[in-house]
A and B are shown apart, each in its own frame.
Chain A
Amino acid sequence: MRVNVIKPNFSYKPYRWYIPYLFIIPALIYFLIFTLYPIFFTIYISFTKWNLISNPIFIGVENYIKIFSDPVFLTSLRNSLILAFILQPIITFTGFLLALLLNRLLLWFRNILLFLFILPFIVPMAVSAVIWGRGFYDPIYGFLNALLRTMGLEGIAWLGDPNIALFSISLVNFWAWVGYHSLIYLAGLQSIPQELIEAAIVDGAGSIRIVIEIIIPLLKPVFTAAIILATIGGLQIFTEVYMLTRGGPGYSTYTLGYAVYYKAFTEYDYGMAAAEALVLSLIVFILALIEMKVLGGVR
């Protein structure tokens, strides 16, 4: 590694100076136009009233006041928080438990199971949602209700009952992501040196103690990363909602993501949509920060 004692302008490079800049042009254009500019623009239009055709009208914080008194928005906020802070930890924890199981299995068996575990992650959510909607959640012909009926129980209105609909959406999300998390934790488990576990066995630790006192602390960075990723994803859940319930019944499955979409592309109120998007992003940002502090162990 060369140590630059002279300022970079003077150090010799084996290629012409403009080459690196040339190489990053596509990425640079993309970042400037499609990420940096949009961020500021979103912030800007969140303070305006705008329908995309005429010019944006500056209205200050009116949007923000409106959304916090808007019951629809508040419902979507509540729903998204549930999906992010109750559902995602369940998903990641289940993934961790499954990883512990998978770790003990023979390689070929483990791979078969893993393959099945991650299928829901690979298949487009839109496609899976249709299958869930028709095959499982249909009140009359759906598999779940048929199962209940054979047990002598009544069918449940999975997507029709406002108290259950959010749970049904959660189930689909759970089904899609647990496999992904179990794979991440499996990789983490395998990064723990075998001798460490052997030492613990020789020291007399039983399996449970090994998991709690050795494995979990060592996997803290993995936990943190997984939970943060899951939380961010959870706050933005959209496709399942769109395909299965369109936010209904009533507003019981409205999520922040769906709310932004609806405000912008059905009601054409881009200003308010931007404000909602900004609130969403702020929550993501703050919570990611909190989670990093609390769980620790992140670069």
Chain B
Amino acid sequence: MLGKKIRKVALFLISVIMIIIAVLFAIFTSVPFIWAILSSFKTPEEIVRIPISFIPKTFTINNYIRLLMETNFIRAFLISLFISIATTIGVVITSLITAYALSKTEFRFRDIFIRYIIYLLALPQYLMLLPQFYIIVKLGWINNYAAIIIPAIVSPYSIFLLRQYMLTIPDDFIDAARVDGAGEMYIVFKIVFPLVKPAIIIISLWTFISSWGSFLWPLIVLNDPSLYPLATYMNTLQSAYGDYRYTGVVMAGTVLSFLPMIIITLVGFKYIVRGITLTALRR
């Protein structure tokens, strides 16, 4: 009798502890963002106050005003937007046609190609970094956004993912279209595309997010700091406002940088989750 009661209580306690741990970790992951948001509304005086305050006592939007007026933030933001959107569109198009060719057509080098893509996914970025830079130099693309967008337009991961999706489309659909006289281009964009929409969304989100966060490549390929996209610009911002009193401005910058990402995650949560789980489970 008592044993049963003890067991019940113990099980209950364990569940409670589990929930607490999980919640604690969620707090752990979100605290930096909360701190950034809160700090972005603090006055310079308050930021340097000791003992530190978490919640701003005086609420100010000065930091944002300064950020938007005095710095190149907006420009960096728009640059990132432009690059990310362009890259995403490019990736969707190239992935569509490449994945289609690799899944629904037959040609001699198909299997080699597929194998190559898979191996590519495992290669470290650094192996190819320096010559890639050299090529950009030779092409005269330094300080040109083409240097960022063009190499990013082909994404082996997206091609692979899309191909997996396309393999699940019965060939009958496509053969019927061929019989009806449709050209392969037409088939890709008017027939296959609507059928793989979930995968397209996953790829788009993934490409956008990764493009938004790309740091090293723009750092290398752009000499003029005024051309930096957002992630790389963070470095400029951080050093420009090195004095801790102006951390509020820097934090305003970070908040405006991660806010779009949070919104994207909220809206596309299902797809992002799918994208992540497909990455690892495919192996």
Chain A residues within 8 Å of B, Cβ to Cβ:
8, 13-15, 17, 19-21, 23-24, 26-28, 30-31, 33-35, 37-39, 41-42, 45, 52, 98, 101-102, 104-105, 111-136, 138, 140-141, 143, 146, 149-150, 175, 178-180, 183-184, 186-188, 191, 221-222, 224-226, 228-229, 232, 235-236, 238-239, 242-243, 256-257, 260-261, 264-265, 270, 273-274, 277-278, 280-281, 284, 288, 298-299
Chain B residues within 8 Å of A, Cβ to Cβ:
15, 18-19, 21-23, 25-30, 32-33, 35-36, 39, 47-48, 50-52, 94, 97-98, 100-102, 105-108, 110, 113, 116, 120, 122-135, 137, 151, 153-154, 159, 175, 178-179, 183-184, 188, 209, 212-216, 219-220, 230-232, 234-235, 237-238, 244, 247, 250-251, 253-254, 257-258, 261-262, 264-266, 269, 272-273, 276-277, 279-283
Not counting A184-B281, A224-B283, A280-B126, a sample of 8 additional A-B residue pairs whose C-beta atoms are within 8 angstroms of each other reads A38-B127, A122-B261, A123-B213, A131-B251, A178-B25, A222-B280, A232-B124, A242-B219
Between-chain CB contacts (< 8 Å), 10 pairs: A26-B97, A26-B98, A31-B154, A41-B130, A101-B19, A116-B30, A187-B280, A228-B283, A236-B125, A261-B216
**Contact indicator B238/A26 (Cβ below 8 Å):** no
**Contact indicator B127/A130 (Cβ below 8 Å):** no
Complex CA distance for A299 and B269, rounded to whole angstroms: 29
Cβ–Cβ < 8 Å partners of B277 in chain A: 183-184, 186-187
Known: A8-B108, A15-B184. Contact between A141 and B127, CB under 8 A? no
Cβ–Cβ < 8 Å partners of A8 in chain B: 106, 108
Cβ–Cβ < 8 Å partners of A226 in chain B: 280
**Contact indicator A133/B238 (Cβ below 8 Å):** yes
Cβ–Cβ < 8 Å partners of A264 in chain B: 129-130, 133
**Contact indicator A281/B265 (Cβ below 8 Å):** no
**Contact indicator A180/B276 (Cβ below 8 Å):** yes
> Chain B residue with minimal CB distance to A183?
B276
Q: Which of B18, B258, B283 contacts A299 (CB 8 A)?
A: B283
Cβ–Cβ < 8 Å partners of B137 in chain A: 52
Cβ–Cβ < 8 Å partners of A274 in chain B: 130
> Chain B residue with minimal CB distance to A110?
B22
Q: Which of B27, B234, B257 contacts A243 (CB 8 A)?
A: B234
Complex CA distance for A80 and B146, rounded to whole angstroms: 32
Complex CA distance for A242 and B250, rounded to whole angstroms: 17
**Contact indicator B22/A140 (Cβ below 8 Å):** no
Cβ–Cβ < 8 Å partners of B258 in chain A: 123-124, 127-128
6 tightest CB-CB pairs across the interface, nearest first? A124-B213, A38-B131, A187-B277, A38-B128, A23-B101, A30-B154
**Contact indicator B178/A117 (Cβ below 8 Å):** no
Q: Which of A15, A30, A122 contacts B209 (CB 8 A)?
A: A122
**Contact indicator A132/B23 (Cβ below 8 Å):** no
**Contact indicator A135/B32 (Cβ below 8 Å):** yes
**Contact indicator A21/B107 (Cβ below 8 Å):** yes
**Contact indicator A135/B29 (Cβ below 8 Å):** no
**Contact indicator B184/A236 (Cβ below 8 Å):** no
**Contact indicator B22/A123 (Cβ below 8 Å):** no
> Main SS of chain B's interface residues?
helix
Cβ–Cβ < 8 Å partners of B264 in chain A: 122
Complex CA distance for A256 and B129, rounded to whole angstroms: 13
**Contact indicator A116/B26 (Cβ below 8 Å):** yes
Cβ–Cβ < 8 Å partners of A30 in chain B: 151, 153-154
Cβ–Cβ < 8 Å partners of A273 in chain B: 130
**Contact indicator A140/B130 (Cβ below 8 Å):** no
Known: A98-B22, A140-B50, A184-B277. Contact between A34 and B257, CB under 8 A? no
A294–chain B nearest beta-carbon distance, Å:
15
**Contact indicator A242/B235 (Cβ below 8 Å):** yes
Complex CA distance for A113 and B20, rounded to whole angstroms: 12
Q: Which of A41, A135, A183 contacts B134 (CB 8 A)?
A: A41
**Contact indicator B101/A42 (Cβ below 8 Å):** no
> Chain A residue with minimal CB distance to B264?
A122
Cβ–Cβ < 8 Å partners of B116 in chain A: 31
**Contact indicator A265/B52 (Cβ below 8 Å):** no
Cβ–Cβ < 8 Å partners of B175 in chain A: 14
Complex CA distance for A82 and B23, rounded to whole angstroms: 29
Chain A CB within 10 A, most for which of B21, B23, B94, B213: B213
Chain A CB within 10 A, most for which of B110, B179, B261: B261
A8–chain B nearest beta-carbon distance, Å:
7
Known: A14-B175, A141-B52. Contact between A122 and B265, CB under 8 A? yes
Cβ–Cβ < 8 Å partners of A140 in chain B: 50, 244
Known: A45-B130, A124-B230. Contact between A98 and B106, CB under 8 A? no
Q: Which of B22, B129, B232 contacts A113 (CB 8 A)?
A: B22
**Contact indicator A239/B132 (Cβ below 8 Å):** no
A177–chain B nearest beta-carbon distance, Å:
10
